[in-house]
Amino acid sequence: MVTVTQTTLNRAVEAAKAGAAVVLKHYRHDLTHTAKGPLDFVTDADIRSEIEITERLSKAFPSVGIFAEEYGWVRGGPGRDYYWLVDPLCGTVNFGYRIPLFCVNVALMHEGRPVLGVMMNPLTGSIIQGSTEIPTHLVSNDGNYATQPSKESHIVALDFAKPPAEGYTNETLSLALDPNFGRNFLPRSFGTGLAMGFLAIGRIAGFVAYSPGDVHFAAGVVLCRQAGCMVTDLDGSEWVAGAGGIIAAADKATHLQLMGTVRGALHEVRASSA
């Protein structure tokens, strides 16, 4: 049993900081790339960051399950009411090729819903943190700030992580090329869950992913929600663990507009492939 308190958030922040320190230590150094698939790999930094984070969470919360990206269930297993999700290096490909867009994500789940999130940028040292009990805020070298989502940029980050399969349709690319999307939004791709952090603090207007990814997105989901963003699955229902994708926007009006565009683009894709 764990309660969503400032102390719990502080412990999660400490764990994320420890993982981020490992990631930063390895940045710009020679890395061992171990293939996970034809176009994916894991580095030493992923593994060592994950070990550092999970060990700290295990010590602080010995009765709470932990699921981490590389090793899966390192404590407990499916069916627990509360469990941690750990993405020790979100944006591994960016990191591995010295593209400075990656982060460390830690989320606490309760009955499939994210209730606490921490997202840390190892390069800047900035942390976005919050929970269902504590409003999302940004902690940086300049101070501690309440977050304010904004649609002003019209930028919508698109996630291209859906794995190819037989009969594969790239819905993300179809959306980016859709005229209705182009009239209202500016497509960008960051290759990391850090995009949802950018949404929470007002740097972009929206985020769309056509694939599941609890360990990648859970922290961002709760941070965006508690900042005031609208976050759903692709059908407009509440995003919960196992959801097949995400539509998130700075406010309800932008989310409604984005939802309509996504559905329209999907209809065109399905009609053309029928």
Query: What domains can you pick out in the chain, each with its CATH number?
Result: 6-146 (3.30.540.10), 155-273 (3.40.190.80)
Look at 26-35, 39-48, 74-83 and tell me which has the smallest mean pLDDT. 26-35
Q: Tell me the pLDDT tens digit for each residue of 216-270.
A: 999 999 999 999 999 999 999 999 999 999 999 999 999 999 999 998 776 665 5
Strand 155-159 and strand 186-188: pairing? parallel
Model pLDDT for residues 184-209, shown as the tens digit of each residue:
999 999 999 999 999 999 999 999 99
Structure tokens at 40: 């994916």
Q: In a 3-state reduction of DSSP, which class is residue 8? A: helix
What's the rounded Cα separation, in Å, for the pair 54 and 261?
A: 39
Residue 15 is predicted with a pLDDT of 99
Which residues fall within 8 angstroms of residue 7, CB to CB, at 6 or more apart?
Answer: none
pLDDT, position 164:
57
pLDDT for residue 76: 85
**DSSP tag of 177:** H
Radius of gyration of the chain (CA): 18
Q: How far is CA 217 from the centre of its chain?
A: 3
Q: CB–CB of 12/106 below 8 Å?
A: yes
Q: What is the pLDDT of residue 2?
A: 86
81: three-class secondary structure by DSSP: coil
Place of tokens 């940029």: 153
Write down the pLDDT at residue 273: 59
Examine the pLDDT at 165 and tell me if it is beyond 60.
no
CA distances from 270 to 172, 237, 246, 263, 273 (A): 13, 21, 19, 11, 5
pLDDT at 34: 73
- pLDDT class for 89, splitting at 50, 70, 90? very high
User: Which two structure tokens, joined as six digits, stand for 44?
Assistant: 């030493």
